[in-house]
Amino acid sequence: MKLSDFDFDLPERLIAQRPEARRDRSRLMIVNRKNAAISHDLFVNIGRYLPHRPLMVFNDTRVVPAKVSGFKKDTGKQVELVLIREQEPGVWEALIKGLGKMKPGAELILCKGALTAIFKSREDDRGLFQLNYRGDLRSLLHQAARMPLPPYIRREIHDNEETLAMDRERYQTVYAAREGAIAAPTAGLHFTPELLDEIGAGKADLAFLTLHVGIGTFLPVRTWNVRDHQMEKERFILPRKAWNQITGARERGQKVLAVGTTTTRVLESLTFDAPAQMEISGETEIFIYPGVKFRTVDQLLTNFHLPKSTLFLLVCAFSGIDLMRKAYQEAISNQYRFFSYGDAMLIL
């Protein structure tokens, strides 16, 4: 399976730079896998397409404001880092794309001097830094860092506070609970509290798990044969209640609707064959591409994804390559908005 099979031309103007004024006023494409029919609506009307009361499973991870900006102490050059994970006490892995060459011991002054980072080593577009700060790092990041938006959403270091405040609110689901992600589970960005209440009152049962979305979800596939791509591990938490909701749904024949590809990856990493007595947690590095069989997920809500991405490969695996090509071409023809702040697709 060649990576080039999953490429398509996307006009840059369709890459959403800002969300719709209201979360639930984004557009919704409905794709029926049985008859290959495609229809169009607004997201607020998603309940119309849930006649058999599925179990909707959401990823309730909360995004950490992990993008820090500042300057190199020796040159004054402006820099930005995205903190990925703490490798050992005080030593963090960070994305450093665009920083140029740095020698071990180079110092960065970040967050207006509240945080300093001493460069230790580098591998490709990532580096290890010893962070120095006072107090609690999470509190500091919430005060002084930015949301780690993907690079196709263009933001500059000097963007105004109104834009940054908008990103802090809108690049986060309204049901976000457990902090730990550096990217949002974007299929969930369309829900409002009112819409969730409406759906939960009669349209679907609701369950919540956590996958702390890491950089691996968005790393490009760099192998010619897609099967050779290796995903990075991401941590998940599945509460006992959610596990038993999913197990019960499978026993009853109730359809499981995954809200997002991150939710899908957790559900397809596990076997729901018996009730749980406690919370389930672990890591997953599952890579879903055409040919992989789905065991748990029956329906999928997702956004529109990048060409040749692992996310596009996943939806092609779920729906079939030909149907997804048709759907994406119709989305482009109808001026749908793409990627994180874009519109949604419900695959039935």
Helix (H) or strand (E) holding 88: strand 78-88
Full-model pTM: 0.95
Q: What is the pLDDT of residue 219?
A: 78
Shared-domain flag, residues 195 and 244: yes
**Which stretches in the chain have pLDDT values below 50?**
none
In a domain, 150, yes or no: no
For helices 321-333 and 310-319, give the axis angle rounded to 10 degrees: 110
In a domain, 58, yes or no: yes
- Count up the domains in the chain and report the number: 2
- Measured CA to CA, the distance from residue 60 to residue 209 in angstroms comes to 6
Calculate the average pLDDT of the chain: 95
Q: What is the pLDDT of residue 220?
A: 84
- Measured CA to CA, the distance from residue 334 to residue 328 in angstroms comes to 10
What separation in angstroms does the CA of 14 have from each of 18, 229, 328, 334?
A: 11, 28, 12, 10
In a domain, 151, yes or no: no
Shared-domain flag, residues 234 and 179: yes
Shared-domain flag, residues 199 and 243: yes
Going by the DSSP 8-state scheme, the letter that residue 200 receives in this structure is I
Number of other CB atoms surrounding residue 282 within 10 Å: 12
Q: What six digits make up the tokens of 37?
A: 């029919």
Residue 110 sits in a domain whose CATH number is 2.40.10.240
- Measured CA to CA, the distance from residue 299 to residue 296 in angstroms comes to 9
- Tens digits of residue pLDDT in 13-38: 999 999 999 999 999 999 999 999 99
Shared-domain flag, residues 71 and 46: no
Phi, psi of 98 (to 5 degrees): 90, 0
Helix (H) or strand (E) holding 213: none
Shared-domain flag, residues 183 and 124: no
Number of other CB atoms surrounding residue 338 within 10 Å: 22
In a domain, 83, yes or no: yes
Shared-domain flag, residues 190 and 294: yes
Shared-domain flag, residues 56 and 73: no
Shared-domain flag, residues 197 and 264: yes
Going by the DSSP 8-state scheme, the letter that residue 294 receives in this structure is P
Q: What is the pLDDT of residue 161?
A: 84
Q: What is the pLDDT of residue 217?
A: 74
What separation in angstroms does the CA of 21 have from each of 166, 172, 281?
A: 10, 15, 36
Judge contact between 217 and 311, C-beta under 8 A: yes
The upper half-sphere exposure of residue 56, i.e. CA atoms within 13 Å in the direction of its Cβ, equals 29
Q: State the residue range of the domain holding 98.
A: 67-145
What separation in angstroms does the CA of 62 have from each of 45, 85, 116?
A: 26, 15, 25
Phi, psi of 183 (to 5 degrees): -155, 150
- Measured CA to CA, the distance from residue 254 to residue 240 in angstroms comes to 19
Q: What is the pLDDT of residue 97?
A: 73
Q: What six digits make up the tokens of 278?
A: 């406690």
Q: What six digits make up the tokens of 319?
A: 């729906």
Helix (H) or strand (E) holding 33: none
Number of other CB atoms surrounding residue 113 within 10 Å: 9
Shared-domain flag, residues 111 and 260: no
Residue 259 sits in a domain whose CATH number is 3.40.1780.10
For every residue of 217-271, which 3-state class applies, written as one string? HHCCCCCCEHHHCCCCCEEEEECHHHHHHHHHHHHHCCCEEEECHHHHHHHCCCC
